[in-house]
Amino acid sequence: MTNQKQAMLYGLATVLLWSTVATAFKLSLRELAPVQMLLVACASSVVVMMVILLLQRRWSLVFSLTRKQYVQSFGMGLINPCLYYFVLFGAFDRLPAQEAQPLNYTWALVLAYLSVPFLGQRLRRLDVIAGLVCYAGVVVIATRGAVMSLEFSDPLGVSLAIGSTLIWASYWILATRDERDPVVGLFLNFLFGLPVIAVICWFTTGLPVALSGGLAAAVYVGVFEMGIAFVFWSYAMKKAENTSKVSNLIFISPFLSLIFIHFILGEQILPSTYVGLVLIVAGLWLQQEKVKRREEALGHGR
């Protein structure tokens, strides 16, 4: 099997996992508070990533970092998982999955915009067009089709969903200067973030103790969304001979996710969700095309 075929298989596996997590979020949040769900998911993710590092015989890398990198791990952990997932789960707690999930997908566009002031990248006309298309989709979904009224279905829920994209994009901008091994870095972020989440959970909602379907769904999120999916996607990018083909697989995920949301959660998918999601994906596709053209231009220049 060629490296590209392996990359596509890893990419498809990642997309399948990503497509299920919005449903898992809602199943867990039916019984757990967002911070309780975050605690269980984060703990599960730490265990999974520890197992992965042991299987890959890279566990020694955890103890080979500098003091500055351990401090960095704590700081990054406060952003992801602590802040990012708390805000994201808060959005899913207030909004239907069919609304929260597409809004969260706009993080890639936010990343492009934040890269202008923080990474010195140029804002091109295509970025602006992509943004207009994307956020037109956001308005359609957030107003449930009543675009002219501009009355959001849940203003706080929408604000949390949009806020999560800002946090996630900011995290990845900081990660561009991260010299740690990706899996080791993520493991330490979650490991250092876990006690903070546990303390907040203890003093607010209390620790989740009863075995339930919500607890199982939170474990699923930690194992697959926060753990295995990250590793699979890293492998896909590493093995890809054509990264744009693998990257384009992400556009399958939000549509596949709607199938799980409808048949497992029982949500009736609104026409406005389809329209808004098509606009968001179209905007993200335009953004991807810009990146693809830049990569091709650099390739021709070598």
Per-residue pLDDT of the chain (302 residues; tens, 9 = 90+): 678 888 899 999 999 999 999 999 999 999 999 999 999 999 999 999 999 999 999 999 999 999 999 999 999 999 999 999 999 999 999 999 999 999 998 888 888 888 888 888 887 888 888 889 998 999 999 888 888 776 787 899 999 999 999 999 999 888 888 888 889 999 999 999 999 999 999 999 999 877 889 999 999 999 998 889 988 888 887 887 777 777 778 888 999 999 999 999 999 999 999 999 999 999 988 877 766 665 555 444 43
**CB atoms closer than 10 angstroms to residue 123:** 13
Angle between helices 3-29 and 34-55 (to 10 degrees): 150
CA distance 302 to 295: 11
CA distance 66 to 152: 47
Query: Which whole-number Å values give the CA distances from 235 to 47, 133, 232, in the listed order?
Result: 20, 31, 5
pTM here is 0.90
φ/ψ bin of 120: left (φ > 0), alpha (ψ from -120 to 50), beta (otherwise):
left
